[in-house]
Structures are given as structure tokens and as C-alpha cells.
Amino acid sequence: MAHLAATYRHLGKYTEAKKLDIQAQKIKNKVPGAESPLMNSREKVHSLTNLAKRI
């Protein structure tokens, strides 16, 4: 979903891209183990940074 959002951004479809970024973040946060210390903190930072850029 995040890759599709990036494609939309490249096409200038910023509203659609933002919606997908938010959906992807919500899904990622609901995944079991998302709060686990074993989850790569770099992935969390990357995901949140991408979301912040879209807001």
C-alpha cells in the first residue's frame, strides 16, 4: 500500500497518496507485535516519517 501511495505522489495524486499512507500506518499499527521491541525501530521511524511528510 505504501508503494502505491508513492506511485500516486509521483503522478501528482497527493490526496489519494495521503489517504493510502494513513491507511498503511493504521494497518501497520494493528499488526500483532507492532509494539514488540523486536520490531525494527528503523522501520517504525521510516513509516512515521513518511506519514509526517504527507500531513
Asked if residue 51 has pLDDT above 80, the reply is no
What is the distance, to the nearest Å, from the Cα of residue 55 to the centroid of all Cα atoms in its chain?
11
Asked if residue 11 has pLDDT above 60, the reply is yes
How high does pLDDT run on average in the chain?
78
pTM: 0.55
User: Locate cell 494513513: which residue?
Assistant: 22
Q: Which helix (H) or strand (E) holds 29?
A: helix 14-30
> 27 or 7: which carries more pLDDT confidence?
7
| Domain residue limits, the chain | 2-54
Asked if residue 9 has pLDDT above 70, the reply is yes
